[in-house]
């Protein structure tokens, strides 16, 4: 018996069912591909639309060059430096003798006059030396009187014997002996006189040393530093220790500024300067250059020269030791055409070939002293501008602007190139 008979179904019925199933499957496959096609068309439409939108809203190409205009302005050439504030006259007062400090009569900021007593060192030891030398002098003077008396006696005896010899009473030997005694007495008197002179010199030195135990002010001024206290021992065996520092007049100060060797040729005496310190922000103290020293200062290969700037300080705001910033006006030009320093430094980038490699260009001819080269935009569409070089005469600069001594046709408001945009573009991910 056949399989269809066993299942209780007819062969025709099975064939129709299979055909219906196959038709349904083909219809479902066609609908699936239709949906996929519609989705693809929608996606393509979106991409095309987005691309059209990007092209429509794309900004214009950026300019290749950045420019600045020529201006009529004031250009001031300045030299800046730093230095320390010091009094015009500053005296260091030391001790010439050693000993214990028994009295200190002044303190910081004390006003003193010339000859005022500042401090005293214990005078006991030096007073004893004066007394000892005085006693030695008295003893030497007494010895000199004895020698003088012996000389007078010897002179009288010699004269008497010389008379007796002339009468034939005294022998020549007696006269020679008396002459010897006279000469010895005369030598003793000379030695005593020399000893007196020596002891007098010792006494004078002892008195001077005793006077050094009292320390006096050498000038009128203000005590800006005191390095000793009562009871402290002062040792002056090798060098005189500094006990006090006295500034003569704080109403006038000076700044010792270190000028770089590249700028020292611009500095002259009597030039005006402005001084600022951190203690008084925004306040400028007016000064004058009084000296530019020839002695170089070499610190780790950096050579500078000291310039002395005298500054008025009537309110006593400037204090010794302050760090000051000094600005010295060396030259100025008012109402002159000026150009940005960036325009003088600008050099156009070389063009590129189809492979993106720079095309070698011929270097411009060297410039004469006092000349500069600037570039102007001469034409071309935005992003593809053309430029032309122009040589101008340049003068002083303030670090940002440079004076045009020969504008070579440039006028106020005219644009010159200061920067060029690099045309090398980075590749971005995506289609647009």
Segment 392-426, tens digit of pLDDT: 999 999 989 999 999 998 999 999 999 987 765 44
Q: Which residues contact 288 (CB under 8 A, 6 or more apart)?
A: 270, 271, 272, 273, 309, 310
Query: CA-CA distances (angstroms) from residue 251 to 87, 88, 315?
Result: 9, 9, 7
Quickly count: other Cβ atoms within 10 Å of residue 354's Cβ: 5
Burial of 360 (0-12, 13-18, 19+ CB in 10 A): exposed
Over range 67-78, report the average pLDDT. Answer: 93
Quickly count: other Cβ atoms within 10 Å of residue 238's Cβ: 6
Torsions phi, psi of 70, nearest 5? Answer: -75, 135
Q: Which residues contact 250 (CB under 8 A, 6 or more apart)?
A: 87, 222, 313, 316, 318, 320
Q: Is 266 helix (H, G, I), strand (E, B) or coil?
A: helix
Over range 209-214, report the average pLDDT. Answer: 92
| pLDDT for the residue numbered 397 | 92
Q: Which of 88-102, 237-251, 270-284, 317-331 has the lowest mean pLDDT?
A: 237-251
CA distance 402 to 345: 11
What 8-state DSSP symbol labels residue 265? G
- Mean pLDDT is highest, among 55-64, 96-105, 134-143, 238-247, for 96-105
| pLDDT for the residue numbered 148 | 85
CA distance 300 to 221: 38
| pLDDT for the residue numbered 58 | 66
CA distance 62 to 363: 27
| pLDDT for the residue numbered 297 | 93
Predicted model pTM: 0.62
Residue 8: enclosing H or E segment and its boundaries? none
CA distance 9 to 2: 10
Q: Dihedral of CA 248/254/258/259: which sign?
A: negative
Which one has a higher pLDDT value, 170 or 87?
A: 87
CA distance 115 to 121: 17
């Amino acid at each position: 018996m056949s399989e269809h008979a066993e299942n209780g179904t007819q062969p025709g019925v099975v064939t129709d069912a299979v055909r219906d199933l196959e038709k349904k499957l083909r219809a479902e496959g066609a609908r699936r591909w239709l949906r996929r096609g519609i989705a693809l068309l929608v996606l393509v439409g979106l991409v095309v639309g987005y691309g059209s939108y990007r092209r429509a809203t794309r900004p214009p190409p950026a300019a290749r060059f950045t420019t600045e205009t020529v201006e009529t302005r004031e250009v001031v050439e300045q030299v800046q430096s730093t230095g320390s504030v010091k009094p015009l006259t500053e005296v260091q007062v030391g001790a010439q003798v050693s000993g214990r400090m028994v009295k200190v009569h002044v303190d910081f900021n004390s006003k003193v006059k010339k000859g005022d007593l500042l401090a005293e060192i214990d005078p006991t030891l030096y007073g004893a030396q004066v007394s000892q030398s005085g006693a030695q002098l008295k003893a030497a003077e007494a010895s000199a009187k004895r020698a003088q008396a012996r000389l007078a006696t010897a002179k009288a005896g010699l004269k008497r014997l010389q008379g007796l010899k002339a009468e034939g009473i005294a022998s020549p030997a007696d006269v020679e002996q008396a002459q010897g005694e006279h000469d010895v007495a005369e030598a003793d008197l000379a030695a005593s006189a020399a000893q007196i002179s020596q002891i007098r010199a010792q006494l004078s030195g002892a008195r001077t040393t005793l006077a050094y135990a009292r320390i006096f002010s050498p000038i009128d001024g203000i005590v800006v530093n005191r390095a000793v206290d009562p009871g402290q021992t002062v040792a002056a065996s090798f060098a005189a220790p500094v006990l006090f520092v006295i500034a003569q007049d704080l109403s006038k100060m000076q700044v010792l500024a270190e000028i770089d060797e590249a700028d020292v040729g611009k500095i002259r005496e009597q030039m005006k300067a402005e001084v600022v310190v951190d203690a008084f922000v925004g306040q400028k103290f007016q000064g004058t250059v009084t000296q530019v020293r020839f002695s170089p200062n070499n610190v780790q290969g950096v050579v500078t020269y000291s310039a002395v700037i005298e500054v008025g300080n009537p309110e006593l705001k400037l204090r010794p030791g302050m760090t000051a910033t000094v600005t010295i006006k060396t030259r100025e030009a008012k109402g002159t055409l000026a150009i940005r320093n960036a325009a003088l430094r600008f050099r156009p980038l070389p063009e590129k070939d189809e492979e993106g490699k720079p095309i070698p260009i011929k270097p411009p001819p060297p410039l004469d002293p006092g000349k500069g080269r600037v570039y102007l935009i001469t034409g071309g569409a935005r992003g593809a501008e053309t430029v032309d070089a122009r040589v101008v005469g340049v003068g002083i600069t303030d670090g940002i602007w440079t004076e045009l001594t020969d504008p070579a046709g440039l006028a106020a408001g005219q644009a010159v190139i200061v920067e060029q945009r690099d045309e090398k573009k980075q590749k971005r991910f995506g289609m647009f």
